[in-house]
Structure 1
């Protein structure tokens, strides 16, 4: 499988690991990670999001977890080959049993979206078998620092359910990005960010394409430090 090339790092890919996709790129570029020092990524896959956050925040130490042994080995290789290798660490670990003596001030996840079904493609990465929304939220509430931020990207039809679960454990929604696939099209995704501290909710609309197969100015600006785009 061909590597996916970014400006400052390459992503080796594997048939048994969820590939580089727009959701991961969006979360890696849109989440507000600038002030974080100690970051945790849950379900790192290829390591894409952790690498993007390492590029965006030169002061952050990043811990990445994955339940898939192939993903852990792949992320290790991608981290090792990057300019940020000293600040990136990956572990073969079930998040539900993960323990840390220190709290994280930023937790990020592109979680499994779908209820358990008969599909055999990318089962752990796509289906809520090993990690449900509730599992994820409850565990994050334990390991996130009092001032910390929890950031996810999910299908828009699941956003209200996710927000309700988060509210039940004491999280406040502090930022919401409405992601539209194409200009004047339907809402497709939401980037949701939560904190244990209540603050004014920030809402942003974001469009990926202005016409079929033609990126919007928003997307080009957002990813200009990452995508090669013919450079």
Structure 2
């Protein structure tokens, strides 16, 4: 499988690991990483999100975990071959059983969001088989620093459920980025950021394509430091 090339790093991929996709790029580019010195990525896959965060914040140290041993091998190889190799590492770990005294300033995940079904494609990465929303939120709450952020990208029709789980764990929605694939379409994804603080939610809108197969100006601006653009979507 061909590597996916970015300006400052390459992503080697594997048929046994969920491939680079737009959701991961959006989460890596949109999430608030400014004040995060210790970052945990849950379900790293190829490592793309962690690499983007490392590029965006030169002061961040990042631990990326995954339950898939092949994903850990692939992501660690990508980390080792990047300019950020000394600040980022991958570990084979079931998040539900992850124990540490460390608290994280940012916990980030592009989690499995399909209900369990009969599909054989990317089962662990796509289906809530090993990690459901409740497990993800509860464990993140335990590991989040007092001033930390918990950031995810999920289908927009799962937002209400996810936010309710957050509230039951004293995590409050700080920021919501509603994402449309194309300007004239209904939104399908949303980036959500939670913290322990009760503040008014900041709501933003984001469009990936202004017309079919043509990136919007806001997407070009958001990812200008990452993509080797040919001006057309993946």
Asked whether the two chains share a fold, i.e. TM above 0.5, the reply is: yes
What residue in structure 2 maps to residue 180 of structure 1?
180
**Per-residue deviation, residues 68-114 of structure 1 (Å, max 9, x unmatched):** 00000000100000000000011000000001111101000000010
Is residue 2:168 matched to residue 1:168?
yes
TM-score (norm 2): 0.98
**Per-residue deviation, residues 100-130 of structure 1 (Å, max 9, x unmatched):** 1111010000000100000000000000000
What residue in structure 1 maps to residue 30 of structure 2?
30
Q: How many residues align?
A: 231
CA distance in 2, matches of 1:200, 1:59: 28
What residue in structure 2 maps to residue 196 of structure 1?
196
Aligned residue runs from structure 1 range 46-65, under 5 A: 46-65=46-65
CA distance in 2, matches of 1:79, 1:230: 25
CA distance in 2, matches of 1:230, 1:158: 33
Is residue 2:48 matched to residue 1:16?
no
Q: Once superposed, which parts of structure 1, at least 4 consecutive aligned residues long, lie more than 3 Å away? A: none
Structure 1 gaps of 5+ residues are none
What residue in structure 1 maps to residue 116 of structure 2?
116
Structure 2 gaps of 5+ residues are none
CA distance in 1, matches of 2:100, 2:55: 24
CA distance in 2, matches of 1:157, 1:117: 18
Structural RMSD (CA): 0.9
CA distance in 1, matches of 2:212, 2:184: 12
Aligned to 2:188, what secondary structure does the other structure show? strand
Aligned to 1:7, what secondary structure does the other structure show? coil
* C-alpha deviation, 1:184, in angstroms: 2.2
What residue in structure 2 maps to residue 221 of structure 1?
221
What residue in structure 1 maps to residue 97 of structure 2?
97
